[in-house]
Amino acid sequence: MSRRIHLALHPYGVGGPGQHGLWKDARVAKNASIDINYYIAQAKAAEHALFDALFIVDSQYINATYPAHYLNRLEPLTLLSAVATHTRRVGLVGTASSTYNSPFNLARRFASLDHISGGRAGWNVVTSFDTGTSRNFGFEEHLDYTSRYGRALEFVRVARGLWDSYEDDAFPADVERGVFLDPAKLHALDHAGEHFTVAGPLNLSRSPQGQPVIFQAGVSEEGRDLAAQVAEGIYAPGGTLRQAQEYYADIKARTASYGRDPDHIKIFIHGGPVVAGTDAAARRREREIFEEDNDFDRNLALLGRSFSAYDFGVHDLDAPFPDVAHLAEKGGRTGAARIIERARAENLTLRQVAQSANEFRSSPFVGSPHTVADTIEQWFAAGTFDGINLAFRTADELELFVDGVVPLLQKRGLFRTAYEADTLRGHLGLPVPANRHTREHLLVAD
């Protein structure tokens, strides 16, 4: 098989959405989410296993009902810069909002991480799901979908323009001639658009991989279109095998429709494998994990995230699900629409909706090492993903996967047996983007 599976690691810390009880596990340090040594250890484990990347998620709004990891965690780029100095090959992908950042500042920060890591940086572009974030940045309310995604598209294009400020050979550093910079190879951006006016140039040269890799998690129509236009990696919702196939085909088709090579966008689905000595033992452990995390009050609070951080606790739990559709436009519209549709179709109460939001759903990647490897191979061959964004509750569970499943995937030719590149682009099989100014020179020469 010419295609190979890409694997990324997503640390849970003390537990995010759906892992409400993780912080109680004796194997998890209660300060894991703010302990840089925890992340360094996770990154080293991922690198030892030859994974493509370490992925750090983020948001910028909390209240007291939020999951433990959200309440107290490190800022992604600061975290990844520290991790970069303790690793050599594994990619480093951080989440940052295009709604609540400025292009020049964020472009410089990611370019800095790219240099510090030797070309291993990736940016997960989000438009901000937590509507409460707006008040942390001096705005009365969150932008609507159209504005957020239009801003995100322009933001990425501006960042890429800034990353091309210097051509690759801009610094001759010729002591004899007294020439450090060739000024003809430095380019201002002079961008003036709907959302941003940015002069440039950026005061940082290109890294060994040219530019950080752009990731995105597009579920809505606007999100999928943004991904198809600019993303090089995408975090997909997963679901059933059929749903994953449909999503994969849709994103690849949209990418082609924008004149891009569909192979230049790598789709990662979420995977929380549970591996044990036997299938039965793994299924028992999966059920135990569900029970450990099944906290009704937390689930009710989490439900509000899709509806502009709404407090459903003000309603009668046994009354019909309230009419809150108007709150979804500036929150998680796609997820909120599914919740509303199901509540109406099945005439559910608020209590039933909160319970169903965290009802037990068995993962396909549960069982003995052979069973999990077989399922991964089946899904990969069926056209559902290019990679899996893996999440494990503890270091022990990561080790079970690395020692039990990874060797089987390697034996089948589905996963690398050694790193073949030093950059994140190299791991993902993505081309180094040509500097736009160098490309223009070549076109003129032709």
Final residue belonging to a domain, choices 356, 371, 395: 356
Is residue 189 included in any domain, yes or no?
A: yes
pLDDT by 10s per residue, the chain, length 446: 479 999 999 999 999 988 989 999 999 999 999 999 999 999 999 999 999 999 999 999 998 888 999 999 999 999 999 999 999 999 999 999 999 999 999 999 999 999 999 999 999 999 987 778 989 999 888 888 889 999 999 999 999 999 999 999 999 999 999 999 999 999 999 999 999 999 999 999 999 999 999 999 978 888 999 999 999 999 998 889 999 999 999 999 999 999 999 999 999 999 999 999 999 999 999 999 999 988 888 888 888 777 877 888 899 899 988 888 877 666 566 778 788 888 888 888 988 888 887 778 889 999 999 999 999 999 999 999 999 999 999 999 999 999 999 999 999 999 999 999 999 999 999 999 999 999 776 555 55
Measured at the CA of 105, the angle between CA 102 and CA 109, to 5 degrees, comes to 130
Measured at the CA of 242, the angle between CA 236 and CA 246, to 5 degrees, comes to 55
Secondary structure tally for the chain: helices H, strands E? 17, 12
Same domain, 202 and 134: yes
Q: Is 12 among the annotated ligand-binding positions?
A: no
Euclidean distance between CA atoms 322 and 353, whole angstroms = 11
Q: Phi/psi of residue 386, each to 5°?
A: -100, -25
Is residue 131 included in any domain, yes or no?
A: yes
Measured at the CA of 70, the angle between CA 68 and CA 72, to 5 degrees, comes to 80
**Residue 251, exposed/middle/buried by CB under 10 A (0-12, 13-18, 19+)?**
buried
Same domain, 159 and 54: yes
Final residue belonging to a domain, choices 333, 356, 379: 356
Same domain, 349 and 376: no
Same domain, 229 and 203: yes
Euclidean distance between CA atoms 377 and 5, whole angstroms = 9
Are 211 and 160 in contact by the 8 Å Cβ rule? The answer is: yes
Same domain, 334 and 423: no
Cross-strand partners of 349: 320
111: CB partners within 8 A, 6+ apart:
121, 162, 163, 202, 204, 206, 207, 212
66: CB partners within 8 A, 6+ apart:
301
Report CA 60 to chain centroid distance, whole Å: 15
Q: Which residues of 202-222 are buried (b: 16+ CB within 10 A; e: fewer)?
A: bebbbbebbbbbbbbbbbbeb
In this structure, the number of other CB atoms found within 10 A of the CB of residue 86 comes to 14
Q: Phi/psi of residue 421, each to 5°?
A: -150, 170
DSSP H or E run through 427:
helix 424-428
Report which of 397, 297, 299 is spatially closest to residue 28, judged by C-alpha positions.
397
**Residue 445, exposed/middle/buried by CB under 10 A (0-12, 13-18, 19+)?**
exposed
Same domain, 432 and 333: no
**Residue 27, exposed/middle/buried by CB under 10 A (0-12, 13-18, 19+)?**
exposed
Q: Is 240 among the annotated ligand-binding positions?
A: no
CATH number at residue 66: 3.20.20.30
Same domain, 230 and 330: no
Q: How many domains does the chain have?
A: 2
Is residue 299 included in any domain, yes or no?
A: yes
Euclidean distance between CA atoms 214 and 123, whole angstroms = 5
Q: Is 212 helix (H, G, I), strand (E, B) or coil?
A: coil
Same domain, 422 and 314: no
Q: Which domain holds residue 302?
A: 295-356
Q: Is 83 helix (H, G, I), strand (E, B) or coil?
A: helix
> What does the pLDDT read at residue 444?
58
Is residue 287 included in any domain, yes or no?
A: no
Q: Is 341 helix (H, G, I), strand (E, B) or coil?
A: helix
Q: Is 182 among the annotated ligand-binding positions?
A: no
Predicted TM-score (pTM) of this structure: 0.92
Same domain, 325 and 373: no
The string of DSSP codes covering 216-274 is E---SHHHHHHHHHH-SEEEE---SHHHHHHHHHHHHHHHHHTT--GGGSEEEEEE--E
Per the listing, tokens 């037990």 go with 360
Euclidean distance between CA atoms 148 and 16, whole angstroms = 25
Report which of 424, 437, 436, 434 is spatially closest to residue 185, judged by C-alpha positions.
437
Report CA 67 to chain centroid distance, whole Å: 18
Same domain, 254 and 316: no
Q: Is 306 among the annotated ligand-binding positions?
A: no
Same domain, 226 and 318: no
**Residue 408, exposed/middle/buried by CB under 10 A (0-12, 13-18, 19+)?**
middle
Final residue belonging to a domain, choices 341, 356, 371: 356
Q: Phi/psi of residue 400, each to 5°?
A: -60, -40
Is residue 419 included in any domain, yes or no?
A: yes
Same domain, 266 and 385: yes
Is residue 70 included in any domain, yes or no?
A: yes
